[in-house]
């Protein structure tokens, strides 16, 4: 397989589907959850399949098996950290409106790169639905993570300044540049 999940990137409860062995399904999900630490490319599809561990149907098992076939076909993909790298920190954040079709909630995503190498990533379904917060919640979460990482790097006598955080929302950038709002 060339991708871990077939488009559209959604699964549903499939109430009419045939039940599968829960123990085997959970074992497969556990293996994928362990593996996603070094393979962020399977994180979304694995977490989506993990939502159905209580009543897995045949359609969910097919999705999990596709992830395993993808992993078998891409053994050389993964995170790689060379010995000598730069120490510049960069943050990225993104958000969508009602991206989670199952719960109709906003997904916020972010990642931080140290020396161009991925060191942290997150994808979270928000607790509430709101159109007015734009991507400000995602940018704030990314900023908090960057500040924490900057503090941790001080323990290694690495002082960083002017750390860029990129987001793709003009309204969020406008809010962040207005000193009255924060």
Least reliable range by pLDDT among 21-35, 37-51, 81-95: 81-95
pLDDT class of 109 with cuts at 50, 70, 90: confident
How high is the pLDDT of residue 19? 93
What is the percent of the chain with per-residue pLDDT over 90, rounded to a whole number? 26
Assigned token pair, 116: 């161009």
Concatenating the DSSP letter of every residue in 87-125 gives --EEEEEEEEEEEETTTTEEEEEEEEEETTEEEEEEEEE
How high is the pLDDT of residue 97? 57
Specify which residues 123 forms β-bridges with. Answer: 109
How high is the pLDDT of residue 18? 92
- 111 vs 81, which has greater pLDDT? 111
User: Could you read off the pLDDT of 18-38 as tens digits, one per residue?
Assistant: 999 999 999 999 999 999 888
Average of per-residue pLDDT across 72-96: 84
138 and 108 Cβ atoms separated by less than 8 Å: yes
pLDDT class of 55 with cuts at 50, 70, 90: very high
Parallel/antiparallel/unpaired status of strands 117-125 and 105-114: antiparallel
Alpha-carbon gap, residue 136 to 178, rounded angstroms: 13
Could you list the beta-strand ranges (E) of 7-154: 89-100, 105-114, 117-125
Spacing of C-alpha 54 from chain mean position: 22
How high is the pLDDT of residue 171? 60
């Amino acid at each position: 397989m060339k991708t871990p999940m077939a488009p559209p990137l959604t699964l549903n409860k499939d109430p009419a589907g045939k039940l599968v062995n829960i123990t085997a399904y959970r074992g497969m999900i556990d293996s994928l959850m362990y593996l996603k630490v070094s393979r962020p490319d399977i994180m979304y599809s694995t977490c989506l399949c993990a939502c159905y561990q209580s009543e897995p149907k045949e359609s969910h098992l097919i999705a999990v098996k596709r992830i395993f076939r993808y992993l078998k076909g891409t053994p050389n993909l993964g995170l790689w950290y060379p010995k000598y790298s730069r120490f510049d920190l960069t943050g990225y954040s993104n958000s969508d409106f009602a991206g989670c079709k199952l719960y109709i909630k906003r997904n916020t995503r972010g990642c931080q790169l140290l020396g161009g190498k991925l060191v942290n990533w997150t994808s979270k379904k928000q607790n509430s639905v709101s159109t007015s917060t734009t991507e400000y919640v995602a940018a704030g979460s990314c900023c908090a993570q960057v500040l924490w990482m900057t503090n941790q790097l001080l323990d290694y006598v690495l002082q960083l300044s002017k750390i860029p955080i990129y987001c793709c929302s003009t309204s969020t950038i406008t809010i962040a540049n207005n000193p009255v709002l924060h």
